[in-house]
Amino acid sequence: MKTMLRFTAALVLSAAISPALPMTNTAITSNATGLYAINDNGHVAYREVVGGDFQVFLFKDGASTQITNNASIGGAGGNSFIDYLAINNSDQIVWTQYDYSATPLQVHLFLYSNGAIKKIDTLMGASSNYCITPQINNNGAVVWRQYNTDNGINNGSEIFLYDGAPVRLTSDANKDEDPRINDNGHVVWTGDRRALDDWDTRVFLYDGGGTSVAAYSSGSSSYAPQIDQDNSIVFIRLVSGAASLIHTKNGLETVIDTGTGFNVNYGFVANNGRVAYNNKNNKIILFNGTDTQTISTSATPNRYPSLNTLGHVAWVEADAGDIGGRVMFYNGVSDTPVCSYTACSAPIINGADEIVWQDNSTLYITRTGATSVVFNSKIPVRTKTGPAKVLVMSGAHVPSGDLFDLRGRRIFSGRNPVHLGVLVRR
């Protein structure tokens, strides 16, 4: 038996559609310090200074909760200095924090999960240990780069994985950095073989069972890798000073943009088979897996793109004097300003088309008005007449006809528009 039900707000939604509701900006805090992250539920982790000390906060359901309770040691923020921060869809938060009370100085990695805070790193040596650039996936696994002052940052920096316990993925005298992890638990990073007097950097892949070289070309540097949920990898290759953006999967490389067009200075982001990046004319380019298109329309510089699973992008568009900037949002059809030209910082967009960004010291979340949708036949629901499973939920016409769940998996493809409703099967 099949039944058509009305859509209820209790369901979390996401889809590739144009905004249908007014765009709203909500101030989260007026004491932001430039470090923030957002998950697909619209929950924001951020750093704030309270009484001279850095603290981690979580914004959800319209209110902020202080997660840490740090106290200074030695002044100037002392023991409370927090650097690097990430959040997943279960509201697990990771961050690095200085411990000036330790001799020598240590920079530890902390995980907030289910209301508790736990230090998850392990020391590499007797000297100062530094944990940097942590990443967390939606299963709670964390990767980071760690080094100690016995060897220095450029020699002997290693990659660690925490999935219930810290595991050292590398153990050599080389420079390993830029770790990324996907929800499959696969990890990529870049590293050289300087211990063997080989300075060419490679992209390495840990697939849960072992480590292999995912990208390497003699006489070049392959670095800054990002790994997608389908285990494909996007990275930068530098040859004779020219940087190219490259996609690779199963050993097959595709050049997205060459060194004549790609702007390495403002980075790129890969998500769900797509890539958003800057070209050398300071335009925002979107690669859809096959072709590239320019999605920014301003003649002024456009920088710092953020890309979600729907192929929607947020970035900063500079004003005419390239002094201030405003956040822009691309909904798959056109770009729209989120705010006026001020001092907007790099935005982050989530899978529900919500954007977090900072203007001076005020942190905002923008709800773009795009009605979101989830398509997942395995979601259990309950109706007045008993349990059921969701087949399709929709909140608006989907121009492309391609529907995705929150992990970016395509679960429906067609040319007919989908309209409001929930189809369930008992």
Q: What CA–CA distance (Å, rounded) separates 148 from 122?
A: 12
Q: What CA–CA distance (Å, rounded) separates 364 from 409?
A: 29
What does the pLDDT read at residue 194? Answer: 67
Q: What CA–CA distance (Å, rounded) separates 153 from 146?
A: 8
What does the pLDDT read at residue 152? Answer: 56
Which residue is associated with the tokens 């230090």? 119
What does the pLDDT read at residue 425? Answer: 33
Closest C-alpha to 206, from 158, 256, 154: 158
User: What is the token pair recorded at 54?
Assistant: 């850095």
Q: What CA–CA distance (Å, rounded) separates 89 from 87?
A: 7
99-110 residues labelled b (16+ CB within 10 A) or e (exposed): bbeeeeebbbbb
Q: What CA–CA distance (Å, rounded) separates 133 from 418?
A: 41
Q: What CA–CA distance (Å, rounded) separates 318 from 32?
A: 21
What does the pLDDT read at residue 30? Answer: 96
User: What is the token pair recorded at 133?
Assistant: 């650039």
Q: What CA–CA distance (Å, rounded) separates 334 from 104?
A: 53
Q: Say if residues 129 and 123 touch (Cβ distance below 8 Å).
A: yes
User: What is the token pair recorded at 26?
Assistant: 């909500």
Predicted TM-score (pTM) of this structure? 0.81
What does the pLDDT read at residue 21? Answer: 53
What does the pLDDT read at residue 48? Answer: 94
CB atoms within 10 A of CB 231: 15
Mark residue 318 as left, alpha or beta (left: phi above 0; alpha: psi -120 to 50; beta: remaining).
beta
Q: What is the pLDDT along the chain (426 residues), one digit of tens a residue?
A: 333 333 333 333 333 334 445 789 999 999 999 999 999 999 999 999 998 889 999 999 999 999 998 876 544 445 578 999 999 999 999 999 988 878 888 899 999 999 999 999 998 877 788 999 999 999 999 999 998 776 555 556 899 999 999 999 998 767 899 999 999 999 999 997 766 666 789 999 999 999 999 998 888 899 999 999 999 999 999 888 788 999 998 888 999 998 666 777 777 999 999 999 998 889 999 999 889 999 999 999 999 999 999 999 999 999 998 888 999 999 999 999 999 998 888 999 999 999 999 999 999 999 987 544 333 334 443 434 444 443 333 333 333 334 444 444 444 443 333 333 333 333
Q: Which CATH number fits domain 33-352: 3.10.180.10, 2.60.120.10, 2.130.10.120, 3.30.230.70?
A: 2.130.10.120
Q: Where are the beta strands (DSSP E) in 70-165?
A: 82-87, 93-99, 106-113, 116-119, 129-136, 142-148, 158-162
User: What is the token pair recorded at 399?
Assistant: 């121009």
Q: What CA–CA distance (Å, rounded) separates 224 from 330?
A: 25
- For residue 187, the one-letter residue type is V
What does the pLDDT read at residue 280? Answer: 86
Domain ranges of the chain: 1-17+371-426, 33-352
